[in-house]
Copies of this chain bind each other. A is one copy, B any other.
Amino acid sequence: MDVKFNNRDPVYVQVIRHFKEQIATGLFEPGQEIPSRRELANQLKINPNTAQRAYKEMEEQGLIFTEGNLPSRITKDEQVLKMVREELILEAVDAFVHSVRSINLPLHEALTLVQNTYERE
């Protein structure tokens, strides 16, 4: 568990983003335990309340669930896990296409640039 933070977005948003990327990549098993709020806060050097904020939102979104005072877990609903990946993809593509349009960058140039950038390193 390691996240590099930027200063633009709220920390709790970046934490959620990180979990979603892990889910989208299939690094979490359905039902898998995740670190406690305090443990995550320690690992990432953030405030426990910030971790709680992130987990609370993830729970509201159905990404994780909590039974009693047991450690929270990744949802067992594989449909939800699948949707996370598709949402991230959709967001990335939409944002890129929007940018490309806003500056009148021809499609083939955009595609070429993506390809070249992707391939180097």
Contacts and interface: CB of A to CB of B under 8 A. Distances in A.
Interface of A: 21, 24-25, 85, 88-89, 91-97, 99-105, 107, 110-111, 113-115, 117-119
Contacts of A21: 102-103
Interface of chain A, helix or strand or loop or mixed?
Answer: helix
A40 B100 CA distance: 26
Contacts of A93: 96, 110, 113-114, 117
Contact of A114 (B91, B103, B104, B114): B114
B89 A105 contact: yes
A88 B111 contact: no
30 contacts: A21-B102, A24-B103, A25-B103, A25-B104, A85-B103, A88-B99, A88-B103, A89-B103, A89-B113, A92-B96, A92-B99, A92-B105, A93-B96, A93-B110, A93-B114, A94-B117, A95-B95, A95-B96, A95-B99, A96-B114, A100-B114, A101-B118, A107-B114, A107-B115, A107-B118, A107-B119, A110-B114, A110-B118, A111-B115, A114-B114
